[in-house]
Amino acid sequence: MLDLLEINLQIMRLFVCFSTAFLHILALEHASIEITSDPFPDDVLTPYKDYYKTKRTHRHVRDCQPIFHGNRTHETLKVPSHLKPGQTFVQVKNFYHRYTRLNKERDVVGHVVTLEDPFRTFSVLEPKEVGGCSTYKRATVAESAQQRKCWVATNAGFFRTKDGKCYGNVFSDGRKVQDSGGVQNANFGIRKDGSILVGYLSEDMVDDEENPFVQLVSGVIWILRNGMVYISESKTAECRETEETGSMDLFADVVSARTALGHDREGRVMIVQTDGKTHHRGIDLYSFARLLLKFGLVNAINLDGGGSATMVVNNTLVNYPSDECGHFTCSRKVSTVVCAHEPDCIPKDCSGHGQCVMGECLCDSHWTGDSCDVLKCRQHNCSSNGKCTTEDGCSCFPGWKGENCSEGCPSGLFGLNCSRECQCQNDGTCDPIDGHCTCTPGWTGAFCQQRCFHGSYGQNCLKICKCPHTCDCDPVTGECPSENNLSMLNSTQRWLHCELDSKMKGTSPKETVVQSNNEKGAKMEEEFSKFFLWFVAVISVCAVSLLANLFLIYLACNQATKKGIRFKRNRKHERLHLFNDDDDEDEDYA
């Protein structure tokens, strides 16, 4: 019996030993899996497993931040528009940086972009095209940058790796693309008044209509706040219950390629990007924050990094992404991008009356002002010599020309836009409005073609000569002829001159033209009356002739009818007479 108990005890000891050994082996295998598995596979640097299962309220974020910030969960900087014409609006600089991590020196390289007047030179763009987020598109930074002809562009917001869905708040050029659905992450935005806002936003702030966002993008981790490293506080505010590929601590500690978006104290937007490959080269967020302070940033958020980190300058890739394409590295297709483009005009279309070139409106010919919204002619009212119109500017009255209708018609021209030629002769001048001629003394007529009639002189020949022995005088001055000239004219010639002039004098040029027109009208009326009388006479003769012919035809027809009737009667009578004769002959024979 004792032997049996000892055997059972030994079997139980062996079972316990084998069970313990098996559990140790399982533990070691599980530990080795945890040690060897990469929390960021394919260099996808994101801390979340399911973005929308990690929703936090804005109050939670407010409660997580240090008490000295009060209830404000964001920082705002008012930025005046200060870009001068011809001023460089964007600068790209390369850097090499050495830093110490875990008592070991590391090197990192990258680029710094500085952007002046960001309200007019900075945009957030959807992937590939407008509507790219709603269709879950992904595109390379170079492809997306073509939308605004970006001088410099980098990757921006995070996205769902399995299908490309955009994450976070997105506003692009004043158009709301999407909101975060209540998920709280660090944001960078520019509002309608030109102010820059960095931090956490409530849903009411995102949808603010009084001062709406023009550009807005979300990242993960607020790196710098008011010139201080804010990573630890931000991790607390953005803490998650479920992580996708690594915890928030590992996400901040791992060396990798990084992209940051922020601003300096002067309100210039700055984009800093480092090259790297997760676990192998690059920089961690804490060292990255110290580098950003060195470059002068005050507020900054962390954008998508790892293999997504891409920078394009003038359509050329300038960094070294970690994704491999055969023997080379290549750009990854990402979600939203941030873009530095040539300055926009305000408004962008120059009020529809000009073209925007490097932030300046080149106005159409009739418009002026910084926004091409002021009609030139309204500034001077067309010098009161024309009408101001939106289509043609100054529409000048007859007799005036020029951009502001301040120039009268030059000599020899008149009418609308001074387009007609004067017909005045003998140094006469024409009216610039209607072209009627003003003759020099001694001349008259509609075109100053007629010398003053004998017995008249002066302007428009309105003055009467007062010479003692003749009605004639100098047509310009009215001076009487000398005795020698007077003796050359006999009494008959002087009588004819005076008789003719007595009929013509006192008639003004306009009256002469009117009289001539009246005479022509009367003559034409007389000729028309004669023609009408002749026309009536001819028609009457033709009518009488026609009636006469019809009457003659009637008489002829009537006579012919009577003759026909008479002929038929005679023929009938002759036949009766013939038959009677035949009967008589038969009786005689019998």
Q: What is the pLDDT of residues 500-540, one digit of tens each?
A: 555 554 444 444 444 544 565 677 777 777 777 888 888 88
CATH of the domain at 372: 2.10.25
Pair (311, 213) in one structural domain? yes
Asked whether residue 346 carries a pLDDT value surpassing 60, the answer given is: yes
Pair (259, 363) in one structural domain? no
Give the model's pLDDT for residue 277: 93
pLDDT per residue as tens digits for the range 50-96: 544 455 666 666 666 666 666 788 999 998 877 787 789 999 999 99
- Ranking 209-223, 248-262, 365-379 by mean pLDDT, the lowest is 365-379
Pair (252, 300) in one structural domain? yes
Strands 269-274 and 437-438: unpaired
**Between 506 and 327, where is the model more confident?**
327
pLDDT level of residue 24 (50, 70, 90 thresholds): very low
Pair (297, 382) in one structural domain? no
Asked whether residue 309 carries a pLDDT value surpassing 90, the answer given is: yes
Pair (369, 277) in one structural domain? no
Asked whether residue 285 carries a pLDDT value surpassing 90, the answer given is: yes
User: Can you tell me the mean pLDDT for 205-221?
Assistant: 95
- Domain assignment present for residue 110? The answer is yes
Q: Which of 315, 340, 365 is the last residue of a domain?
A: 340
**Between 485 and 570, where is the model more confident?**
570
Pair (385, 308) in one structural domain? no
Q: Which of 277, 311, 340 is the last residue of a domain?
A: 340
pLDDT per residue as tens digits for the range 159-207: 998 899 999 999 999 999 999 988 889 999 999 999 999 999 999 999 9
**Between 305 and 248, where is the model more confident?**
305
The span from the CA of 141 to the CA of 153, in Å, is 7
Which amino acid, residue 219?
Answer: G
Asked whether residue 481 carries a pLDDT value surpassing 90, the answer given is: no
Pair (175, 221) in one structural domain? yes
User: Can you tell me the mean pLDDT for 368-375?
Assistant: 89
User: Can you tell me the mean pLDDT for 425-430?
Assistant: 88
For 302, the token pair is: 């962390």
The span from the CA of 435 to the CA of 439, in Å, is 12
- Domain assignment present for residue 210? The answer is yes
Provide the sign of the torsion angle of the four alpha carbons 471, 476, 481, 484, taken in this order: negative
**Between 582 and 299, where is the model more confident?**
299
Give the model's pLDDT for residue 470: 75
Contacts 24+ apart (CB under 8 A), 278-282: 278/40, 278/43, 278/45, 278/254, 278/306, 278/307, 278/322, 279/38, 279/40, 279/254, 279/255, 280/255, 281/106, 281/108, 281/255, 282/108, 282/255, 282/256, 282/257, 282/258
CB 185 within 8 A of CB 92: no
Number of domains in the chain: 2
Pair (175, 273) in one structural domain? yes
Pair (175, 271) in one structural domain? yes
Pair (242, 303) in one structural domain? yes
For 70, the token pair is: 């009060």
Give the model's pLDDT for residue 276: 95
Angle at 18 between CA 17 and CA 19, to 5 degrees: 90
**Between 433 and 520, where is the model more confident?**
433
Pair (313, 376) in one structural domain? no
pLDDT per residue as tens digits for the range 89-123: 999 999 999 999 889 999 999 999 999 999 999 99
Q: Which domain holds residue 149?
A: 58-340
Pair (178, 251) in one structural domain? yes
- Ranking 105-109, 290-294, 558-562 by mean pLDDT, the lowest is 558-562
Q: Which of 370, 398, 418 is the last residue of a domain?
A: 418
